[in-house]
């Protein structure tokens, strides 16, 4: 079997693979998507939600880069809520409850209807490499397949091993078989491999839960959509979710049976996420807490299945049931599927460049959970970037590189390729040192120009973005010359808006100025004014850092030959091979003085 040489092959069917395939297509190349089971394409394997703290920021950025996740979430969301509302607009995080079935169908149709994408139902078992350049893959059923670029988005499927209590079985996700050949193939090519684990909570039968005993939790009444393509006014469903709490009885029961948990019996070797802990973890590590929140969420509209959010576990099924039944609403609970933990192979991403291409094998890209990250949004962002870069390289165009100071995705990629990751990496706003400028509201101003230059935006997207940018400029201009009367004094509108409680619509003198602008533009302009001074200070910091960020380190650099470097730095830098001095400064174990020495060394060479 063969294909034109100028094509990209994407392995996988999850969020990363989908964004990768669509990005390749948007750049204008044909893409072959190899999925083990076409019926699972676009499936949301864990929680029925998209966005949330810091993740919502990523979804907005994906939208500004022409990705599909935001649009799909708007299309299939059944409840929308902005989190962190009391802590400042830079950390406001949009989140949507999703109808999983609708989401999968929507995403599927986007892939199927894309003329550049061909789906193959098969399994990649080997990568074919000539002189450190990818030349194709071996497919389990179809044999050799020639292509010039491969993007691997295999999620948790590499040697996936599911644990429920003390029983284990190999699987990629519950009910799907794992892949084994490809992981081995990568290791054979010299990739360093590690083991991670993650978990998912049980799914309960709706009719077995007493909803009247749960607190109702609704979304925002007038939410904003994620995507610029979503038509306003945006009037999505506001389906109730539910909230309850664990109690002492639940905790005692889990404590008594903790030895039966896969994670605590020492059966799992991979490290788990500290930030999305299992219920066992919560009870052991926060022993002083009397209760933990449990959100009960519908998996789709009209679903008979509930997602027990906050109760991720690898206890045996009977123990899960007995523990849950101590909660009043769950007295008669029945599980459709127990919670489980899954262990899988990952490939530490320090083996990749900031384009997500392998440092050693040209044309090979890795994206998503295989890089040690956790979460749909993190995976999708990497998929988009890897897919775009694979295609751009084949077209001999400049790569899409995102810097830490311009996007959360830039922070994500820089972190995973420089830092030692020993637990699944998830995004937080605190990981972004330039957080005040990385807001959901200014995402199009930050990223759309780059996206457009790479050809990632459709004409429609580009013109919507342009209108948004123009409106922003116009209203900013109007306000910078506006004055208002306040307590008998005339003050600049801008100064008035800097106070946290003041907004454009609240003030009658200003409200008339914004009549012709949409809600989003008004919000953007207002926010920009409020953060102006603080962002200015951040920009100064960025400038100071710019010199070392822009200093390139030749890949051939032999750190052993740089005199004065600490031995730890020599070892770590030798393993990571950072592309820039900025990256080098963030590699664990590298001291500021080491950075000075390398910089002196590079200057001498120059």
| 499 is a contact residue toward other proteins (CB under 8 A) | yes
Q: How far apart are CA 98 and CA 109, in angstroms?
A: 17
Shortest distance, position 478 Cβ to other proteins, whole Å: 24
In 3-state terms, what secondary structure has residue 465?
helix
Q: With CA atoms as reference, report the closest residue to 309 among 286, 331, 293, 329.
A: 293
On whether the CB atoms of residues 572 and 590 are closer than 8 A, the answer is yes
Query: Is residue 54 near other proteins by the rule CB under 8 A?
Result: yes
> How many residues of this chain interact with other proteins, rule: CB under 8 A?
42
Q: Scanning residues 246 to 305, which ones bind other proteins (CB under 8 A)?
A: 275
Take residue 332 and report the two structure tokens written for it: 């008669």
Q: Tokens 């533009």 label which residue?
A: 521
* Segment near other proteins (CB under 8 A); pick from 38-46, 253-261, 282-290, 597-605: 597-605
Binding of residue 91 to other proteins (CB under 8 A): yes
The single residue among 289, 334, 467, 591 that binds other proteins, judged by CB under 8 A, is 591
Give dist(CA 332, CA 324) in Å, integer: 9
> Is position 589 an interface residue for other proteins (rule: CB under 8 A)?
no
For residue 11, give the H/E element and its range.
strand 7-11
Q: How far apart are CA 407 and CA 377, in angstroms?
A: 14
**Residue 345 contacts residue 334 (beta carbons within 8 Å):** no
CA 421 to CA 427: how far, in whole Å? 13
Which of 53, 250, 366, 587: binder of other proteins (CB under 8 A)?
A: 53
Site map (CB under 8 A) of other proteins, residues 543-582, x = contact: -----x-------------xxx-x----------------
134 within 8 A of 44, measured Cβ to Cβ: no
Residue 199 CB, nearest distance to other proteins (Å)?
A: 19
The interface region with other proteins, picked from 129-137, 148-156, 223-231, 588-596 by CB under 8 A, is: 588-596
Closest CA to 388 of 117, 66, 3: 66
Of 230 and 566, the one with the shorter C-beta distance to other proteins is 566
Q: Which is nearer to other proteins, 470 or 498 (CB)?
A: 498
Q: Rule CB under 8 A: is residue 1 a binding residue for other proteins? A: no
Closer residue to other proteins (CB): 4 or 430: 430
Judged by CB, which is closer to other proteins: 106, or 534?
Answer: 534
Stretch that binds other proteins, among 81-89, 248-256, 410-418, 453-461 (CB under 8 A): 81-89
Give the integer Cα–Cα distance in Å for 311 and 296.
10
Nearest approach, Cβ of residue 424 and other proteins (Å) = 16
**Strands 293-298 and 364-366, sheet pairing:** unpaired
Phi then psi for residue 321, to 5 deg, are: -60, -50
Cis peptide before 311 (omega within 30 of 0): no
Q: Of these, 500, 512, 515, 556, which contacts other proteins (CB under 8 A)?
A: 500
592 lines the binding site for other proteins (CB under 8 A): yes
Q: Pick the closer one to other proteins by CB: 266 or 592.
A: 592
How far, in Å, are 86, 376, 484, 495, 526 from residue 480 at the CA level? 27, 40, 11, 10, 11
Among 7, 36, 312, 429, binds other proteins (CB under 8 A): 429
Compute the least distance from the CB of residue 83 to other proteins, in Å: 8
> With respect to other proteins, which residue has the nearer C-beta, 5 or 486?
486
Using alpha carbons, list the distances in angstroms from residue 18 to 69, 371, 598.
9, 16, 40
- Which one of 2-10, 221-229, 480-488, 537-545 is the stretch in contact with other proteins (CB under 8 A)? 537-545
Cα-based distances in Å from 232 to 236, 348, 403? 11, 42, 31
Residue 255 vs 541, nearer CB to other proteins: 541
Among 435, 450, 468, 577, binds other proteins (CB under 8 A): 435
CB of 484 or CB of 535, closer to other proteins = 535
Q: Hey, is 534 helix, strand or coil?
A: helix
Query: Which part of the chain contacts other proteins (CB under 8 A), choosing from 28-36, 254-262, 472-480, 589-597?
Result: 589-597
Count the alpha carbons within 13 Å of 314 in the hemisphere toward its beta carbon: 27
Location of structure tokens 């193959």: 120
Residue 595 touching other proteins (CB under 8 A): yes
**Residues at the contact surface with other proteins, assessed by CB under 8 A:** 53-54, 83-91, 275, 428-430, 433, 435-436, 498-500, 531, 534, 537-538, 541, 548, 562-564, 566, 585, 591-593, 595-597, 599-601, 604
């Amino acid at each position: 079997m063969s294909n034109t040489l100028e094509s990209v092959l994407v392995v996988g069917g999850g969020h990363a693979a989908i964004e990768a395939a669509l990005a390749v297509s948007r750049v204008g190349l044909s893409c072959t998507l190899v999925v083990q089971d076409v019926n699972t394409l676009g499936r949301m394997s864990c929680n029925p939600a998209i966005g949330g703290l810091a993740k919502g920021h990523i979804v907005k950025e994906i939208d500004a880069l022409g990705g599909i996740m935001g649009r799909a979430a708007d299309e299939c969301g059944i409840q929308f809520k902005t989190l962190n509302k009391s802590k400042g607009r830079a950390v406001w995080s949009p989140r949507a409850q999703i109808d999983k079935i609708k989401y999968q169908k929507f995403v599927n149709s986007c892939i199927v209807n894309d003329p550049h994408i061909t789906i193959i139902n098969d399994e990649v078992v080997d990568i074919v490499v000539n002189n450190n350049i990818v030349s194709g893959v071996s497919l389990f059923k179809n044999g050799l397949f020639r292509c010039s670029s491969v993007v691997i988005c295999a999620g948790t499927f590499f040697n996936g091993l599911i644990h429920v209590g003390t029983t284990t079985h190999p699987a990629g996700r519950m009910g799907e078989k794992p892949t084994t050949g490809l992981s081995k193939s990568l290791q054979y090519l010299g990739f360093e491999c590690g083991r991670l684990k993650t978990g998912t909570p049980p799914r309960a039968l709706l009719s077995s839960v007493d909803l009247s005993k749960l607190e109702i939790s609704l979304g925002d009444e007038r939410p904003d959509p994620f995507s610029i393509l979503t038509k306003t006014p945006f009037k999505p469903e506001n389906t109730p979710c539910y909230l309850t709490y664990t109690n002492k009885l639940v905790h005692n029961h889990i404590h008594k049976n903790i030895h039966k948990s896969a994670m605590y019996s020492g059966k799992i070797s991979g490290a788990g996420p500290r930030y999305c802990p299992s219920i066992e973890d919560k009870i052991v590590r926060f022993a002083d807490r009397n209760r933990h929140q449990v959100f009960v969420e519908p998996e789709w509209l009209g679903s008979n299945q509930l997602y027990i959010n906050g109760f991720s576990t690898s206890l045996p099924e009977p123990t899960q049931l007995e523990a849950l039944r101590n909660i009043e609403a769950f007295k008669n609970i029945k599980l459709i599927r127990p919670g489980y933990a899954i262990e899988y192979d990952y490939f530490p991403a320090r083996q990749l460049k900031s384009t997500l291409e392998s440092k050693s094998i040209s044309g090979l890209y890795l994206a998503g959970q295989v890089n040690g990250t956790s979460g749909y949004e993190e995976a999708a962002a990497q998929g988009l970037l890897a897919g775009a870069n694979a295609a751009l390289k084949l077209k001999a165009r400049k790569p899409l590189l995102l810097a830490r100071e311009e996007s959360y995705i830039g922070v994500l990629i820089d972190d995973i390729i420089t830092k030692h990751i020993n637990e699944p990496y998830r995004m937080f706003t605190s990981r972004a040192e330039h957080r005040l400028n990385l807001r959901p509201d200014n995402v199009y101003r930050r990223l759309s120009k780059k996206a457009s230059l790479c050809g990632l935006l459709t004409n429609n997207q580009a013109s919507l973005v342009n209108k948004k940018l123009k409106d922003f400029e116009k209203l900013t201009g109007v306000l910078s010359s506006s004055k208002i009367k306040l307590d008998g004094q005339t003050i600049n509108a801008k100064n008035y808006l800097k106070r946290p409680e003041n907004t454009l619509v609240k003030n009658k003198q200003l409200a008339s100025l914004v009549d012709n602008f949409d809600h989003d533009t008004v919000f953007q302009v207002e926010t920009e004014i409020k953060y102006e001074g603080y962002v200015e200070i951040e920009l100064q910091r960025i400038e100071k850092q710019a010199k070392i960020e822009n200093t390139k380190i030749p890949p051939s650099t032999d750190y052993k030959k740089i005199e004065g470097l600490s031995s730890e730095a020599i070892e770590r830098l030798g393993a990571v091979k950072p592309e820039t001095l900025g990256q080098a400064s963030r590699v664990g174990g590298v001291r500021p003085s080491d950075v000075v020495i390398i910089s002196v060394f590079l200057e001498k060479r120059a």
